[in-house]
Amino acid sequence: MRKTLVISGGTRGIGRAIVEEFAKNGVDVAFTYNSNSELAENIVKELTSKYGGKYRAYKLDILQPESYKELFKEIDRDFQRVDFFISNAIISGRSVVGGFGPFMRLKPKGLLNIYTATVVAFIVGAQEATKRMEKVGGGSIISLSSTGNLVYTPNYTGHGNSKAAVETVVKYAAHELGDKGIRVNAVSGGPIDTDALRKFPNYEEVKSEVVKRSPLSRMGLPEDIAGICYFLTTDKASWITGQTFIVDGGTTFA
């Protein structure tokens, strides 16, 4: 029987690459989108045409984590099982005002929004996924993180501290869910060339610095993250849990 991935934020960038990676490896995919239903449905059609299988798109406001409960009920109606859950969706624009900026300009609302989208949404989504994974004998849960909690990145205090927090949550979840046959890990990407990064006002500066610092002399691509996410859900990673994997082109050490 085909397995099923549930992933938040599957229409662009890293999320889109992850959806493609799992689909081409024979995994059915339930992915969420924020607002562009037309784009989401076009992706469903494209995947169905290329790979067969089952793919569905669901609208999700990541700032309302409790809505995961109803979302998973919808997924239950469309899919027979849930084997993997990846928390990938992020927020940008007005939602991060007061959370993305110099330390002295940070405001509670922006900081709380980032924490909600990064940490609380991961917890609620993982809880709902776990209830389904127990029924099929286990599974794999992954949170996307970033090296912004390891390397100073201008204006990144709000995101960086939330990424550090979610990596800690991953460790606790791994210990508490292991007896259910569920492994929990994080994948921490260095700056990846995505639409989200291009919205940063200092994008060109960040890109230049990454290329300079990486011994591979290039920016990271969404596919660089997708590959390790898929690996972590396979039997080849069956004794890996509670870990954060850094995928940064060697820039953290530079």
List pLDDT tens digits, range 165-205.
999 999 999 999 999 999 999 999 998 998 877 877 778 88
The dihedral over CA atoms of 83, 163, 202, 199, expressed in degrees to the nearest 10, equals 40
Q: How many CB atoms lie within 10 A of CB 107?
A: 13
AA identity, residue 3: K
Nearest to 84 by CA among 14, 33, 23: 23
Write down all domains in the chain, each with its CATH number in brackets.
Answer: 4-190+225-247 (3.40.50.720)
Please give the average per-residue pLDDT across 46-60, as a whole number.
98
Tell me what pLDDT residue 199 has. 75
Tell me what pLDDT residue 153 has. 86
Tell me what pLDDT residue 142 has. 99
Tell me what pLDDT residue 1 has. 86
Write phi, then psi, for 8 (nearest 5 degrees).
-90, 140
The answer to whether 139 and 151 have CB atoms below 8 angstroms apart is: no
Tell me what pLDDT residue 195 has. 82
The answer to whether 56 and 63 have CB atoms below 8 angstroms apart is: no
Q: What is the percent of the chain where pLDDT is above 90?
A: 91
Tell me what pLDDT residue 206 has. 83
AA identity, residue 203: Y
What b/e sequence results for 67-98 when a residue is b if at least 16 CB atoms lie within 10 Å of its CB, and e otherwise?
A: bbeebbeebeeebebbbbbbbbbbbeeebbeb
pLDDT band at 19 (very low <50, low <70, confident <90, very high): very high
Place of tokens 């082109």: 249
Q: Can 163 be counted among the known catalytic residues?
A: yes
The answer to whether 252 and 147 have CB atoms below 8 angstroms apart is: yes
Q: What is the percent of the chain where pLDDT is above 70?
A: 100
pLDDT averaged over the chain? Answer: 96
Q: Distance (Å, rounded) from C-alpha 201 to C-alpha 219?
A: 17
AA identity, residue 208: S
CB-count exposure of residue 165 (10 Å: 0-12, 13-18, 19+): middle
Tell me what pLDDT residue 196 has. 76
Would you say residue 50 has pLDDT above 80? yes
Which among 33, 51, 115, 156 is annotated as catalytic?
A: 156
Which among 33, 115, 163, 230 is annotated as catalytic?
A: 163
**Residue 1: in which H helix or E strand, if any?**
none
The dihedral over CA atoms of 191, 85, 116, 222, expressed in degrees to the nearest 10, equals 20
Nearest to 91 by CA among 73, 72, 65, 68: 65
